[in-house]
Amino acid sequence: MTVALCATTIVVLALLWEVAMPWIDRRVEARRARRERRAAGAAPYDPGRERRAEQRARELLKSCVNEEEWGMYRDLGFLRVWGGQSRPQGARELQGVDYAYLVYPHKPIVAYLPQTGQLLNEYCVEFPDEARPYGTPRLPDSDDVLAKWMALKGDERRLISEANLHLPGRQVDTRQVQRDLWRLGRWERERLARASREASERSSRRAETADG
Amino acid sequence: MKFLRMRPGYGEQLIAEGDPAIAEDEQRLVEEFRRQLDGGMWAAIPTSAPDGRREAEMVHAFEDIPQDTSRVIFFPRAAGGAR
């Protein structure tokens, strides 16, 4: 009886050890990283500072993109950028645009076909600031989106050549992207409907003023 | 003309400001521009088309910056993400 009890205790302890080891390892690793960061003089994580940084980044993004793009980012959390706009010949018209990108903060850029919704590729790209002023190389979310937007608009080929190319679904869930494309379509329809409603209200007000 | 730089934990930061028509300011801006590019930054100029479309131009030399530019944004150069 005693032997069986001892054996059971040993087995239970061994199992607990197996389960607890990864958790203990993570805690030790996190503590070591914290100590190293403190020794290097890096400021600790401050949620208030990050929030203020993100607020500034949003203002900068808003001042660079047009009203439609800002609304898209504010309402949906991503931007659509048409492909092939930074051609050396300067072809800036949207006629014949046959692909586009979805730009998410700190996620790969997803290329797709607007006509069919077919996903083409994921372009994994980051803008790490190795100066790490607050211990992290990550830009605020909206700065990351703006950096991608400017690089795609200004030199699409260069950005894409720097990125790691993957098939869709590697990092961004394809179901989420399809859902986002559906949300984007609905958002655009609502925006168009609102614009035409406002235009007809304006014209009817003008007509009333002219009659009066 | 303002030079802005994106920074983690900060947002954009004004790193230089001056009138390129003034020789002294221009010299300072040229030096800062070179310092940023040598430090691994990319530089872009957000622009507005007359039809309201917003674009951006990447610039590789100070001489490429149009005279009427009000701001140049520096951001860390792109690197391939998760493999």
The pLDDT value given to residue A212 = 64
- pTM equals 0.81
CA A180 to mean position of chain CA atoms:
12
Which residue of chain B comes nearest to A44, CA vs CA? Answer: B9
Residues of chain B with C-beta less than 8 angstroms from the C-beta of A92? 49, 53, 55
Does residue B79 belong to the interface with chain A, where contact is any CB pair within 8 Å?
Answer: yes
B35-78 pLDDT, tens digit per residue, is 999 999 999 999 998 888 899 999 999 999 998 999 999 999 99
Nearest to B7 among A133, A153, A159 (CB): A133
Q: What distance in Å separates the CA atoms of residue A142 and residue A73, rounded to the nearest whole number?
A: 9
Nearest to B78 among A64, A67, A151 (CB): A151
Alpha helices of A40-140 — where are they, by DSSP H? 47-64, 67-76
A135-170 pLDDT, tens digit per residue, is 889 999 999 999 999 999 999 999 999 999 999 999
Domain ranges in chain A are 51-195
- Put simply, the answer to whether B44 touches A55 (Cβ < 8 Å) is no
The pLDDT value given to residue A25 = 79
pLDDT band at A90 (very low <50, low <70, confident <90, very high): very low
Nearest to A127 among B57, B58, B76 (CB): B76
The pLDDT value given to residue A193 = 96
- A126, pLDDT greater than 90: yes
Q: Could you tell me which residues come within 8 angstroms of residue A83 by beta carbon, excluding any fewer than 6 positions away? A: A97, A98, A99, A100, A101, A111, A156
Q: What distance in Å separates the CA atoms of residue B7 and residue A171, rounded to the nearest whole number?
A: 25
Which residue of chain B comes nearest to A140, CA vs CA? Answer: B8
- A8, pLDDT greater than 80: yes
For the ranges A1-10, A65-74, A201-210, the maximum mean pLDDT occurs at A65-74
The pLDDT value given to residue A41 = 62
**B56 and B46 Cβ atoms separated by less than 8 Å:** yes
ipTM above 0.85? yes
